[in-house]
């Protein structure tokens, strides 16, 4: 969670960022990935990040791409 917060704080410094992909780290070396993801909170975060960084068009969290289709219009 701290990593995503740090990413959000850095967004205002980007002037041409188009795609952002955040992968979830593997859980203590096991082969399975443990996702601490929630679709609704991820989607709200993508919308917020799109407002912070207007050039952002594609966000991918836990293998789910979210694409920007227009001003404030995002869809998976």
pLDDT category at 24 given cuts 50, 70, 90 is low
What is the residue-averaged pLDDT of the chain?
Answer: 79
By the 8 A CB rule, do 18 and 55 touch? yes
In this predicted model, what pLDDT tens digit does every residue of 34-52 receive, in sequence order?
A: 445 566 777 888 899 999 9
HSE at residue 33, side-chain half, CA atoms within 13 A, is 9
Residue 28 pLDDT? 47
pTM for this prediction? 0.73
| Cβ neighbours of residue 26 closer than 8 Å, sequence gap 6 or more | 32, 33, 34
Number of separate domains in the chain: 1
| Percent of the chain predicted with pLDDT > 90 | 32
Which domain covers residue 27, as residue numbers? 2-75
């Amino acid at each position: 969670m701290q990593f995503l917060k740090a990413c959000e704080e850095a967004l205002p410094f980007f002037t041409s960022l188009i795609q952002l992909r955040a992968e979830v780290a593997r859980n203590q070396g096991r082969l399975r990935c443990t996702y601490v993801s929630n679709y609704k909170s991820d989607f709200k975060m993508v919308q917020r990040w799109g407002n912070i960084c207007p050039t952002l068009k594609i966000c991918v969290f836990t293998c789910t791409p979210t694409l920007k289709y227009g001003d404030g219009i995002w869809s998976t």
